[in-house]
């Protein structure tokens, strides 16, 4: 373990978030984006956004747009960028040229078969299967290749013997013996740079002081340091984050509920919840505090408190936290958040005219019952559109048709006279009717609920009736009574 292990970043840090735009922003990437942002804001530094889009086949503008949308949704603003590696070829070409001139890289002509034979031989000798090209072609040989039109790749001549040391903020000192680092490719045969070359050149050129990224990049770090040193630069400091697993300790994937920030948004989580949960993936402030505003995170965040062991992403915890955040909102804020979600998911559009008004009316009544915004349909979907009978709910009143006709009919008869139509008067009148019939409350009220909502779960029965409005409520009563009457006649 390194001597300076577990230290904080105190001076203004210039950090970067460098996603490859080849898909959605997954949870691990979002955490990297957040932690870098927190370092920049906490130290009064700066935050550079860099698109690592050198892989022309896999990078897409849609993916870049999605990543930007996700960052904006989370409230992670950047100070510079997005810079795109695809627009910086000249910078990489110049760097490759310098590396060629200094002899730090060499042209390699090995075919794929030869490389495989090299790996195989190393495995037989129980050495690490690292690739080294022939570094000592004569000028005549090179001229001959050129005459044949063979274009080489350019490999970095890893200095042998030797070692590269990383003094990582989380893992302490990590040593890489050079015999285990292959002569990695820095330029493809068409002259285009590889990821390790571009990332190293950019981190140097952009004056990045701290690189925070996933532990899966640890083996790239010595290669990038070697490139930077060969270019005469001083490498940044490194923070390699532990990986993220699901509650079953397996690497996080879609199977664990949500793999991307977009999935989390679709699933009805608000940005506050997502940001807060991402922050707790490997970082903690103390043993108790679980809810932080973005400002509190900025103030309290410290890389010295990042754990070394894998972080666990548990969607159940997000559910709870989201419910708490929703309940903490004012009714107005909640309504605004809910409507934004219902618009974003296309729900309002799908339900047609009047849907927004229904959502506005029902919002205060469902706020305390929700954990995710996606539960809206379960709680309030019945209010939209004509009565739809859930077969299981219908079965509860079908059991005893005669009794159901009696109590539902009585409820309906009474409510026809209810005026004004509000929760209090509805409650008063139904309670009075219940008293007259001498029924148990459940046996009287539950059938009313099924008759007007078509479900056994909804907002409270009195609220439900009030929300529907008198006309709608009585219309639904008549539909249900009609069905029961048919059943009765058939019996």
Active centre residues (catalytic): 254
- Find the part of the chain contacting ligand GLU (CB under 6 A) among 15-23, 39-47, 65-73, 443-451: 15-23
46-51 vs 80-84, strand pairing mode: parallel
* Sites for ligand GLU among residues 436-455 (CB under 6 A): none
Task: Specify the residue, 53 or 183, whose C-beta has the smaller distance to ligand GLU.
Answer: 53
Strand partners, 96: none
Task: Specify the residue, 156 or 341, whose C-beta has the smaller distance to ligand GLU.
Answer: 156
- The answer to whether 51 and 84 have CB atoms below 8 angstroms apart is yes
Query: Dihedral angle at the C-alpha atoms of 111, 115, 120, 122, nearest 10 degrees?
Result: 150
Task: Specify the residue, 35 or 394, whose C-beta has the smaller distance to ligand GLU.
Answer: 35
- The answer to whether 16 and 211 have CB atoms below 8 angstroms apart is yes
- Find the part of the chain contacting ligand GLU (CB under 6 A) among 18-26, 154-162, 257-265, 475-483: 18-26
* Sites for ligand GLU among residues 47-76 (CB under 6 A): 52
- To ligand GLU, the closest distance from the beta carbon of 141 in angstroms equals 36
By CB under 6 A, tell whether 380 contacts ligand GLU: no
Task: Specify the residue, 20 or 209, whose C-beta has the smaller distance to ligand GLU.
Answer: 20
Q: Is the peptide bond before 485 cis (omega within 30 degrees of 0)?
A: no
Q: Which one of residues 217, 317, 369, 414 is an interface residue with ligand GLU (CB under 6 A)?
A: 217
- To ligand GLU, the closest distance from the beta carbon of 221 in angstroms equals 9
- To ligand GLU, the closest distance from the beta carbon of 50 in angstroms equals 8
Residue-by-residue DSSP string for 101-153 = HTTSEEEE---HHHHHHHHHHHHHTTS-----------HHHHHHHHHHTPPPE
User: Rounded to an integer, what distance in angstroms lies between the CA atom of residue 306 and that of residue 215?
Assistant: 13
- Find the part of the chain contacting ligand GLU (CB under 6 A) among 17-25, 95-103, 396-404, 451-459: 17-25
- To ligand GLU, the closest distance from the beta carbon of 195 in angstroms equals 7
* CA dist list (Å): 68 to 33, 77, 410: 11, 10, 58
Task: Specify the residue, 18 or 270, whose C-beta has the smaller distance to ligand GLU.
Answer: 18
By CB under 6 A, tell whether 213 contacts ligand GLU: yes
Is the dihedral angle over the CA atoms 116, 118, 121, 126 positive or is it negative?
Answer: negative
Strand partners, 84: 51
- To ligand GLU, the closest distance from the beta carbon of 320 in angstroms equals 30
By CB under 6 A, tell whether 18 contacts ligand GLU: yes
Q: Is the peptide bond before 82 cis (omega within 30 degrees of 0)?
A: yes
- To ligand GLU, the closest distance from the beta carbon of 315 in angstroms equals 23
- To ligand GLU, the closest distance from the beta carbon of 370 in angstroms equals 34
- The answer to whether 430 and 445 have CB atoms below 8 angstroms apart is yes
Task: Specify the residue, 6 or 217, whose C-beta has the smaller distance to ligand GLU.
Answer: 217
- The answer to whether 402 and 443 have CB atoms below 8 angstroms apart is no
- The answer to whether 411 and 477 have CB atoms below 8 angstroms apart is yes
Helix H or strand E segment including 406: helix 401-416
Q: What is the DSSP letter of 218?
A: G
Nearest 5°: the CA angle 264, 266, 271 is: 50
User: Rounded to an integer, what distance in angstroms lies between the CA atom of residue 88 and that of residue 178?
Assistant: 30
Number of amino acids touching ligand GLU (CB under 6 A) = 7
Between 170 and 209, how does the x/- string for binding to ligand GLU read (CB under 6 A)?
A: -----------------------------x----------
Q: Is the peptide bond before 477 cis (omega within 30 degrees of 0)?
A: no
Q: Which one of residues 13, 14, 15, 19 is an interface residue with ligand GLU (CB under 6 A)?
A: 19
Task: Specify the residue, 19 or 257, whose C-beta has the smaller distance to ligand GLU.
Answer: 19
Task: Specify the residue, 19 or 411, whose C-beta has the smaller distance to ligand GLU.
Answer: 19
Q: Which one of residues 14, 20, 24, 412 is an interface residue with ligand GLU (CB under 6 A)?
A: 20
- Find the part of the chain contacting ligand GLU (CB under 6 A) among 16-24, 69-77, 234-242, 360-368: 16-24
- To ligand GLU, the closest distance from the beta carbon of 371 in angstroms equals 32
- The answer to whether 122 and 130 have CB atoms below 8 angstroms apart is yes
C-alpha closest to that of 30 among 274, 240, 379: 274
- To ligand GLU, the closest distance from the beta carbon of 168 in angstroms equals 14
- Find the part of the chain contacting ligand GLU (CB under 6 A) among 12-20, 85-93, 137-145, 251-259: 12-20
User: Rounded to an integer, what distance in angstroms lies between the CA atom of residue 300 and that of residue 293?
Assistant: 10
Task: Specify the residue, 213 or 351, whose C-beta has the smaller distance to ligand GLU.
Answer: 213
User: Rounded to an integer, what distance in angstroms lies between the CA atom of residue 484 and that of residue 259?
Assistant: 47
Positions in the binding site for ligand GLU (CB under 6 A) = 18-20, 52, 199, 213, 217
């Amino acid at each position: 373990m390194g001597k300076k292990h577990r230290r904080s970043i105190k001076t203004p840090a210039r950090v970067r978030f460098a996603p490859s735009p080849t898909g959605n922003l997954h949870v691990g990437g979002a955490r990297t984006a957040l932690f870098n942002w927190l370092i920049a804001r906490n130290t009064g530094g700066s935050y550079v956004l860099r698109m690592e889009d050198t892989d022309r086949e896999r990078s897409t503008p849609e993916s870049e747009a999605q990543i930007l949308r996700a960052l904006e949704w989370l409230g992670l603003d950047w100070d510079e960028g997005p810079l795109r590696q695809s627009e910086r070829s000249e910078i990489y070409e110049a760097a490759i040229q310098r590396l060629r001139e200094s002899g730090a890289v060499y042209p390699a002509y090995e075919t794929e078969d030869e490389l495989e034979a090299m790996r195989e031989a190393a495995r037989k000798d129980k050495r690490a299967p690292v690739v080294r090209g022939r570094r000592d072609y004569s000028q005549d040989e090179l001229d001959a290749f050129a005459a044949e039109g063979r274009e080489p790749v350019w490999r970095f001549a890893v200095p042998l013997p030797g070692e590269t040391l990383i003094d990582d903020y989380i893992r302490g000192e990590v040593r890489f013996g050079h015999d285990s680092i292959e002569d990695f490719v820095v330029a493809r045969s068409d002259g285009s740079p590889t990821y390790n070359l571009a990332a190293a050149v950019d981190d140097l050129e952009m004056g990045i002081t701290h690189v925070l990224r996933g532990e899966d990049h640890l083996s790239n770090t010595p290669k990038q340091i070697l490139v930077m040193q060969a270019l005469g630069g001083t490498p940044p400091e490194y923070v390699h984050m532990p990986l993220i697993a699901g509650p079953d300790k397996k690497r996080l994937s879609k199977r664990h509920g949500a793999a991307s920030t977009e999935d989390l948004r679709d699933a009805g989580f608000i940005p506050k919840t997502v940001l807060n949960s991402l922050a707790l993936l490997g970082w903690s402030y103390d043993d108790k505090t679980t809810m932080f505003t973005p400002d509190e995170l900025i103030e309290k965040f410290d890389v010295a408190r990042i754990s070394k062991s894998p972080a666990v992403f548990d969607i159940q915890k997000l559910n709870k936290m989201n419910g708490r955040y929703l309940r903490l909102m004012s009714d107005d804020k909640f309504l605004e958040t809910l409507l934004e979600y219902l618009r974003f998911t296309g729900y309002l559009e799908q339900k047609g005219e009047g849907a927004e008004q229904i959502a506005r009316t029902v919002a205060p009544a469902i706020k305390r019952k929700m954990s995710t915004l996606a539960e809206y349909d379960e709680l309030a979907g019945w209010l939209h559109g004509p009565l739809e009978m859930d077969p299981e709910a219908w079965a509860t009143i079908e059991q005893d048709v005669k009794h159901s006709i009696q109590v539902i009919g009585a409820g309906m008869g009474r409510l026809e006279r209810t005026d004004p139509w509000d929760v209090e008067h509805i409650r008063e009148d139904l309670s009075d009717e219940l008293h007259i019939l001498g029924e148990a409350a459940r046996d009287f009220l539950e059938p009313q609920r099924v008759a007007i909502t078509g479900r056994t779960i909804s907002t409270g029965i009195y609220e439900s009736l009030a929300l529907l409005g008198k006309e709608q409520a009585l219309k639904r009563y008549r539909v249900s009574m009609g069905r029961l009457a048919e059943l009765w006649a058939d019996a």
